[in-house]
Structure formats: C-alpha cells, structure tokens
Chains A and B, each alone.
Chain A
Amino acid sequence: MYICLMYSNELIKGTLKTVVLSLLAKKGRMYGYEITQHVKEETEGKIQLTEGALYPLLHRLEADGLLLTEKVSIGKRVRKYYRLTKEGTESAASLVEEFKEFSKTMNRLLNNYTLTTAYHG
C-alpha cells in the first residue's frame, strides 16, 4: 500500500497503476527504487510509494505483458529496469486520459456541491 502522508488510502487506491505506467511513459526506463524516489519528489512527499506495494504491482504488470525488464549488472548486483511494451504504452495513455476525465467530473461535481452548501449556509 501507499504510505500516504496527506491523502486517505481509499482516495489513492486504484491510481497506483496509473501513476507507475504514466511515469514509465514519461521516463522511458526506470528501476524500482528510482520510481519510489521520483514519486516522493514530484509530490513533495505527499504521496510515498512503499516497496510492499510497488514490487507486487511491477511483477503483475510484467506478467500481464504491459512491462518489459532489462537487467543491468551493477558491481556485484543486478539492477532491473522496467519499460513499457506497446500494449503498456496504450494502457498508460488510456488510464491517464480516464483519470483526467474523472478528475474533471469530480471537480465539477464538488464545485457545485460547495456552491450549494454555501448558498444554503
């Protein structure tokens, strides 16, 4: 799961896949630690990915054919870089599109809500 400093778990659940795929779409190839650090920096620490959530997801996406791995030897250990497959790229695009659409809808819905309560209040 996310260790989330700002947002509730329910709110962010389900967006992890979108975050990881879109990040890889932007950056090309990344390794696990890099992804956690990147998310942490980009969100100014408001969202932190944990290892416990990230690696299971990466393995699942690889099994689903959305990701490819590349192994690079770093001194005495192996570093696994993840990159999108063609299918993964398409999936990333549609997930981002879907989330933007969702966020727009939510905005509209919640703006009205605030206005109405303000009016009654």
Chain B
Amino acid sequence: MAELNEHQIELISAYIRQHGVAQDELHDDLLDHVCTSIEHKMDGGQAFEQAFADTIKLFGPGGLKQVQQQTFELLTEMNETMKKVAFVFGLTSAFLLLAGTIFKLMHWPGASIMVVLGGGILSLLYLPTLLIHKLKESPRGDALQHISGFVGLGLTAVGVTFKIMHWPGAGFLLIGGMTTLGLFYVPIYFFRQYKQSSNKPVTLSAALVAMTCLILVFALTNMRTSSEMNRGLALISEELANANDRYMEIDALYERAGSSEMVSALRKNASATVALLDAYKHHLIAYTEGVSIEEAKTIRASALNQRFSYDVPTHILFRGEGEHAEFHIDRVVEAVEAFEAEVLGAYEPGLQATMGELLPFDTEKNYTIEGKQVDWAAYHFYKIPLIGVISELTNLQVNVRNAEMQALLHIISQPAAADPPSGS
C-alpha cells in the first residue's frame, strides 16, 4: 500500500488550513481522510497530484470551509428548549413594549407596567439567551464583539425603560449602553467585516433591535429645552422668595388684626390652602422625578431633571388613581374657590362683588385653545411640563398669601377691628 511522505502530508495539511479549517479536531479528521483516500487512489495507479485533486473534488462546491461551517452549525444548533425559550421571551417582550408604547402615547392606564416588564424581559432574559447561544456558536476571538454588543444593547434597553418611566439614572444607562456599542461593538464589527472582505449586510435581527430602541428613545423622551422655560425657572425662585418675605410681614399684620374668630379662621385656611398646594408640588415632583417625597421637598426647581416632561404631571392631575387619587386638580380648584369665599367674607356685602373681581383667582374663567373652550384647570395644567405646573401652583400660593394680606389690611382698617364684624 502506498504511503505518503512527510512532505506530501505537510502539503495537504497546509492546503486544509488554507481553505479555512481552523478547528484542530476537524483538521486531523480531514487530513487523515484525504491522505487515506489519496493512498487508495495511488494504489489504483494514480499519481499523487491527480489523486489529490480527485479527492478534493469530493468535498463539493463549498469545499473544506463548508465542512467546518456545517460542523459549527450542527454543534451549536439551538436545542428545542432553548429555541422555545428564546421565542417566548422575544415575542413577549416585543408585544409588551409595543402595547406599552401605544398605551403610553394614548395615556391609557397600565402602560408603565407593560413597558417595565417588556424592557426587563428584553434586556434581562431575551438578550442573555441570545448571547449564550452566540458565544457557543462563534470562535473564541469573537467573544469581545458579542459581549460588548449585548451589554451595549442591554444597557440601552434598560436605559430606555428608565427614561420612559422617568426613573433616575436613565441618562447614565443610555450613555453607558451607547458608548459600549460605539466604542467596542461597532468598530470590532466593521473591522471584522473588512478583514473578511465580506459585504454581507448587518444581521437583520440585530439591526431591527437597534432601530426599535432608537425609535423608542425618540418617541418617548421629551428632550425639548427652551430659553423661555429657563426664564420661567428663574421667575419661580423669585416668586417663592417674595412669597416668603411677604409671609414675614403677615405675622406683623396678624398681631395688629387681633384674634377675632374671622381672623383665626382666615389664618388657618390660608395656611391649609398653601400646605395643600405644597403637598401637590411635592407629590408631582416625587413621581415625575422618581424621588421620595422627602427629597422632593428640598429639591431646587433648577435641579429638576424631568422639568420638561408633562405626561406624569398630567396623568396625576387628570387621570390619577391609586396613590394619585387624592391629587386630582379638581381638589385644587375647590380649595382655592373655598378660600376665595372665605376672604370675601371679610368684606361688607356691598364690597364683595368688587373684591371678587380684584382678587387674583380666576378659576371660573374659560379659555380658548385652538378654537376649543377649555376650563381654568385644563388651561393651566393639562399637558403642561412639570416646571410649568410647579410654577402655576407656586403662583397660586402667592395669590393666596396676597388675598390673605388684603383681607387682613381691610380688617385692620375697620374701626371695630377687634370685634367680629356685624351684619350691618
């Protein structure tokens, strides 16, 4: 029987490697196979070169590389369970994210839980399942590319979820995810494509996931900033400062107004109305910013990250249920109107109509937006960014203090200031 010499074996081994078989185990198999086949053919009288060529022909059009490719595919075929699991995770998260997005845009209840679940399943279950499969399937050198790709995508997905929920840290997660993709995945991906001089387009599924994430980011984040809004911020702080200053003066006025029943009721109701509005402000800030009520009490207006976001404030004030149930805007309107009536009670009946016009409350007034009649609450609070809502509530507080002060001054100016005013 013919036996190949060392030189011939090396030649065949080099040929197998050159044609893309990198895996040692497979290389050994193929080398022995080709050598044995050649030896048999040489026994039949063929020359080495001819036998070699004939043997290689048997590997078919895809050649040796295809044998390796098929070996990889067979070795890494997702087993049935894994396939099912990946399918269920992928479908559930896609469905929840899409439904959640629609609910969110329509301001229907239940949007948040869907978005959180969808984003969670996508980034914590679906992507890791795919990553495990990808890592098993590809040569070890590709690990960095796949890990960076999935970490980047995962962080971005979690970041988008946080952004939609207005939870703190969304920006950090998004920047982390995008940076990982930009610094590692994309350069490695293109470098590999270049090295393999392959012009295969980006895997469709990966591109789809990336596109969906981007669309979600743009559809659901309010990144509007305007100089007008920032001027509004400055105004708020001024107003707050003014209101406080005036409140100091009010203490002096109360001393002069005495301690009639009307005066103490006025003082109590004014404080209660201001406190109610404070509670609204803290609740709105806490839920829009994703901080605790205690933190909301100390946060400065200019430090509000979500100051231009209006969906949470509008949801709380107009559709709130559960923990938001007691923060409907109607309660503000009632409280302010009750306080207005209280203040007017300090004046003689003949003066009340005139004072009603002069007091800075206009909750009964109707407004027109784009030809549609809307009430005071809708005009000042519906789809108004957090900063505008807070500013309007502060404005109301200032108005309450102003009306309180006017009423006090009127009481003091009456001759019988110390006595409760009689019906005359």
Q: Quick check: B29 and A32 within 8 Å, CB to CB?
A: yes
- Chain A residues contacting B142 (CB-CB under 8 Å) are none
Q: Given the complex, which residues of A lie within 8 Å of B36, measured CB to CB?
A: 31, 33
**At the interface, yes or no: A80 with Cβ under 8 Å from chain B?**
yes
Return the contact of B75 from the options A50, A52, A59, A79 (Cβ within 8 A).
A59
**Segment touching B, from A6-14, A70-78, A87-95, A111-119:** A70-78
Contact with B along A24-36 (1 / 0, CB 8 A): 0000000111001
As a 0/1 sequence over residues 15 to 46 of chain B, the CB contacts with chain A under 8 angstroms (1 = contact) are 00000000001101111110111000000000
- Chain B interface main SS type: helix
Asked if B67 and A56 sit within 8 Å, CB to CB, the answer is: yes
**Is there an interface contact between A33 and B37, defined as CB atoms closer than 8 Å?**
yes
Q: Does B66 contact A (CB under 8 A)?
A: yes
What does the 1/0 interface line of A54-69 toward B look like (CB < 8 Å)?
Answer: 0111111001000000
Task: Find out whether the CB atom of A79 lies under 8 angstroms from the CB atom of B32.
Answer: yes
Q: Indicate whether A98 reaches chain B with its CB closer than 8 angstroms.
A: no
Contacts of A80 in B (CB 8 A): 25, 28-29, 32
Q: Counting CB contacts under 8 A, is B369 at the interface?
A: no
Q: State the CA gap A59–B36 with chains docked (Å).
A: 19
Neighbouring B residues of A71 by C-beta, 8 Å: 28
Residues of B within 8 A of A59 (CB): 25-26, 71, 74-75
B62 interface hit (Cβ, 8 Å): yes
In the complex, B9 has a CB within 8 A of chain A: yes
Please tell me if the beta carbons of B9 and A76 are within 8 angstroms of each other in the complex: yes
* Chain B proximity of A108: nearest CB distance (Å): 31
Q: Do residues A57 and B74 form an inter-chain contact, with CB atoms below 8 A?
A: yes
Q: Is the CB of B71 within 8 A of A77?
A: no
Query: Which residues, 94 to 121 on A, are CB-close (under 8 Å) to B?
Result: none
Q: Is the CB of B75 within 8 A of A60?
A: yes
For residue B3, which residues in chain A have a CB less than 8 angstroms away from its CB? 75
- Asked whether A51 is an interface residue with its Cβ less than 8 Å from the other chain, the reply is yes
Contacts of A53 in B (CB 8 A): 70
Q: Assess the A78–B28 pair: CB atoms within 8 A.
A: yes
Contacts of A63 in B (CB 8 A): 75
> With A33-B36, A33-B37, A75-B3 known to touch, is A55 a contact of B9 (CB < 8 Å)?
no
Contact indicator B9/A52 (Cβ below 8 Å): no
Asked whether B60 is an interface residue with its Cβ less than 8 Å from the other chain, the reply is: yes
Within 8 Å of chain A (Cβ to Cβ): is B172? Answer: no
A26 to chain B, nearest CB (A): 20
A17 shortest CB reach to chain B, Å: 11
Q: Which B residues are CB-close (under 8 A) to A57?
A: 74
Give chain B residues whose Cβ lies under 8 Å from the Cβ of A56: 67, 70-71, 73-75
Is there contact, CB below 8 Å, between B26 and A78?
no
Contacts of A50 in B (CB 8 A): 58-60
Measured between beta carbons, the chain B residues less than 8 angstroms from A31 are 32-33, 36
Chain B residues in 8 Å Cβ range of A78: 28, 31-32
Give the one of A31, A57, A76, A80 with max B CB within 10 A: A76
Can you identify 8 A-B contacts, CB atoms within 8 angstroms? A32-B32, A33-B37, A52-B66, A56-B75, A59-B71, A60-B74, A77-B9, A77-B13
The 9 closest A-B pairs by CB, nearest first: A56-B71, A60-B74, A56-B70, A33-B36, A56-B74, A33-B33, A79-B32, A76-B9, A78-B28
Residues of A within 8 A of B (CB): 3, 31-33, 36, 50-53, 55-60, 63, 71, 74-80
Which B residues fall within an 8 A CB radius of A?
Answer: 3-4, 6, 9, 13, 25-26, 28-33, 35-37, 58-60, 62, 66-67, 70-71, 73-75, 77
Task: Beyond the given A51-B67, A52-B67, A75-B3, please list 12 additional residue pairs across the A-B interface where CB-CB is below 8 A.
Answer: A31-B36, A33-B32, A50-B60, A55-B33, A56-B67, A57-B74, A58-B29, A60-B74, A75-B9, A76-B9, A78-B31, A78-B32
